[in-house]
């Protein structure tokens, strides 16, 4: 399961960040996930909950922002934002520049899986 290995990676990264800041408990985690990453958000949250059991992340509130797919035409420089409701396969199969019809289009956003914010308790309280 792609989501679970990603979840374990996120939990480990948050644990590292928390220990760097002497946090005793992590209360909230905000993620940014690109639409093209093909991660199922519910499964990802579930995976993080399982992977954080018994750690300082246990019980943290997890929220996910979806990043739209953005691309740029390498021929004419037109910026392209792709509607999220389309299936990823349709998007990739029909990705052409709306201005010059070039297929030389580079995806510049949408594959992300990043930890945007961490809320943590530092110290003993």
Cα(86)–Cα(73) distance, rounded to whole angstroms?
20
Report whether 30 contacts 114 (CB < 8 A).
Answer: no
Closer residue to Zn ion in complex, CB, 17/105: 105
Binding site for Zn ion (CB under 5 A): 73, 75-76, 78, 97, 99-100, 102
Least Å distance, CB 98 to Zn ion, is 8
Beta bridge pairs of residue 71: 80, 107
Plot region of 15 (φ>0 → left; ψ -120 to 50 → alpha; else → beta): alpha
Residue whose CB is less far from Zn ion, 53 or 99? 99
Nearer to Zn ion, 66 or 78 (CB): 78
CB of residue 79 to Zn ion, shortest distance in Å = 10
């Amino acid at each position: 399961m792609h989501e679970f290995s990603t979840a374990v990676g996120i939990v480990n990264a948050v644990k590292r960040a928390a220990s760097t800041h002497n946090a005793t408990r992590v209360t909230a985690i905000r993620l940014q996930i690109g639409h093209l990453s093909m991660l199922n958000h519910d499964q990802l949250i579930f995976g993080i909950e399982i992977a954080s059991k018994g750690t300082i992340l246990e019980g943290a509130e997890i929220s996910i922002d979806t990043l739209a797919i953005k691309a740029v035409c390498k021929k004419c420089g037109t910026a392209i934002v792709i509607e999220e409701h389309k299936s990823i396969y349709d998007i990739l199969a029909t990705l052409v520049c709306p201005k010059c019809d070039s297929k030389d289009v580079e995806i510049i956003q949408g594959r992300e899986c990043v930890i945007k914010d961490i809320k943590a308790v530092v110290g003993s309280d």
